Amino acid sequence: MRIIPAIDLIDGQCVRLSKGDYNTKKVYNQNPLEVAKAFEAHGIEHLHLVDLDGAKSKHIVNHKVLYDIANQTTLKIDFGGGLKSNEDLRIAFENGAQQITGGSIAVKDAETFTNWLNIYGADKIILGADALDEKVAVSGWQEESKEELLPFIKTYHENGIAYVICTDISKDGMLQGPSFALYEKILKQTPELKLIASGGISKFDELPQLAEMGCEGTIIGKAIYENKISLKQLENYIVSNG
């Protein structure tokens, strides 16, 4: 299972929110590149970079941070937050993203999102399926859609999506453990899916559980910044599972 630390960006700074609420913003570091280099120094190869300004303004904003991290580390970056147009995608890939995550766009403009999948391929386009009470949320989680989570994932999987990042919003940033039951449900329905668990990771012991369950990757955010999981623990996990 891939270990994927998260850096969430507001005003070019490394922040975390609770349950996606912008009013709960906490700045952990004013220099995201420094944070990314610390991840790299501990053997981490992947990074989930989220443009929260972009999610709010509905177009890419923090592409300079993406460029700096992509050019000054070897991290493989998946980038998301506010990607709405072909131009946004072009900017993200030109600035060093290896993959992009589309969430709201996949709900609101399925045609464009499916088009990206056809042009760039399943290795480059990740479906962001973030949900509250198994209903998909959009626009930086500011609104709930009518889409039911499981059929939403299943339909896109049938249309060629390989990677899905699923966040249970009620768990995100709360450090109370991930949504094991939800991930089990998803993997039971679509066992070939490369499911990336996100939200709520609170301690190291949860990682082997997610791996055992069949998650392809897990995104870890606040648990790292609040020192609930150390980079040394993650380094040892990567080495022992390498």
Q: Any idea which residues carry the catalytic annotation?
A: 8, 130
CA 117 to CA 103: how far, in whole Å?
13
Question: From its phi and psi, is residue 140 left (phi > 0), alpha (psi between -120 and 50) or beta?
Answer: left
3 Cβ neighbours under 8 A, 6+ residues apart: 44, 46, 207, 217, 218, 220, 234, 237, 238
Please, are residues 19 and 173 in contact by the beta-carbon 8 Å criterion? yes
What tokens were used for 25?
A: 């913003």
